[in-house]
């Protein structure tokens, strides 16, 4: 029995919420001051590799900056990508991704081909929904605004777990007290009470007991514990904001 338990433990990850250190690259910033890049002051910057000095988000912004100011025809107003979009020369314009997001080889054995492939394997698919987000990698690839958005979204989604647990207990309370609810009992036993038609034409008279199932379903979501849940959600919203 102990061998089977140990074998089952070997299949489970030791840290299920975190990524393996071999999967994600080392993304911590160097301990140095940063400043807006200037070509005239390039000697003030620590550049180990010119191809990787700017991250993907910065390179996309540089290309967009160039396309906003380049001339495409002689004339004062014949410049910029926005004007080409306005006069319907182009329908839309988007920055290109870095390579493919899919690879034939496993990321654990051959590594990631690019940051897009790494984001897909570690972030942008349903198989890793329970893991922490690689926010540093998201910031490197999409920029600070997108990184902050997903950081806030992940925190807000995590804060919904306590509310979901309390809501589940409220629903279970409705299930266990369903047979003792006086309102649903009265409705289900009112076989002699006739109700008016629900429409003006071609609708027959109804018995009150016909809405028995509706009354029971209503009790599951609207019972005595719902008041507590409403107060809890009001306090939770105030604290989370």
Which among 24-28, 117-121, 152-156, 208-212 has the top mean pLDDT?
Answer: 152-156
For 181, the token pair is 């609810």
* Nearby residues of 197 by Cβ (< 8 Å), 6 or more positions away: 203, 204, 205, 206
- CA–CA separation, 36 and 14 (whole Å): 42
For 224, the token pair is 């005595």
Helix axes 182-189, 212-221, angle to 10 degrees: 170
Of 167 and 30, the structure prediction assigns the larger pLDDT to 167
- What mean pLDDT comes out for the span 94-116? 79
- CA–CA separation, 50 and 88 (whole Å): 36
* pLDDT value, residue 149: 95
- CA–CA separation, 220 and 214 (whole Å): 10
* Nearby residues of 23 by Cβ (< 8 Å), 6 or more positions away: 107, 108, 112, 118, 121, 122
* pLDDT value, residue 150: 93
pLDDT category at 54 given cuts 50, 70, 90 is confident
Query: If DSSP codes are grouped into helix, strand and coil, which group holds residue 227?
Result: helix
For 212, the token pair is 């028995």
One-character DSSP codes across 100-128:
-S--SS-HHHH--SSHHHHHHHHTSSGGG
- What mean pLDDT comes out for the span 177-189? 81
For 213, the token pair is 């199932």
- CA–CA separation, 40 and 37 (whole Å): 9
Q: Is the pLDDT of residue 25 over 80?
A: no
pLDDT category at 148 given cuts 50, 70, 90 is very high
* Nearby residues of 100 by Cβ (< 8 Å), 6 or more positions away: 113, 114, 116, 117
- 206 strand-pairing partners: 195
* pLDDT value, residue 152: 92
User: Are 103 and 117 contacting, i.e. CB atoms less than 8 angstroms apart?
Assistant: yes
- CA–CA separation, 181 and 153 (whole Å): 39
- What mean pLDDT comes out for the span 154-183? 87
- CA–CA separation, 8 and 216 (whole Å): 43
């Amino acid at each position: 029995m102990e061998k089977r338990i140990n074998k089952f433990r070997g299949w489970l990850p030791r840290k299920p919420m975190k990524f393996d250190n071999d999967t994600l690259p080392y993304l911590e910033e160097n301990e140095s001051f940063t400043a807006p890049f200037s070509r005239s002051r390039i000697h003030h910057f620590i550049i180990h590799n010119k191809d990787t000095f700017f991250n993907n988000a910065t390179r996309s912004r540089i290309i967009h900056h160039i396309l906003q100011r380049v001339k495409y025809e002689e004339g004062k107003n014949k410049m910029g990508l926005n004007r080409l979009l306005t006069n319907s020369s182009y329908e839309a314009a988007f920055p290109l991704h870095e390579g493919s997001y899919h690879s034939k080889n496993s990321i654990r054995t051959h590594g990631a081909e690019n940051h897009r492939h790494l984001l897909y394997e570690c972030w942008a698919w349903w198989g890793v929904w329970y893991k922490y987000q690689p926010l540093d990698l998201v910031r490197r690839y999409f920029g600070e605004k997108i990184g902050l958005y997903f950081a806030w979204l992940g925190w807000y989604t995590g804060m919904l777990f306590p509310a979901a647990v309390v809501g589940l207990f409220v629903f279970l309370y409705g299930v266990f007290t369903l047979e003792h609810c006086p309102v649903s009992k009265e409705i289900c036993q009112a076989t002699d009470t006739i109700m008016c038609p629900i429409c003006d034409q071609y609708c027959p008279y109804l018995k009150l007991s016909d809405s028995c199932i509706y009354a029971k379903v209503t009790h599951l979501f609207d019972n005595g514990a719902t008041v507590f849940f409403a107060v809890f959600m009001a306090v939770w919203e105030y604290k989370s904001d």
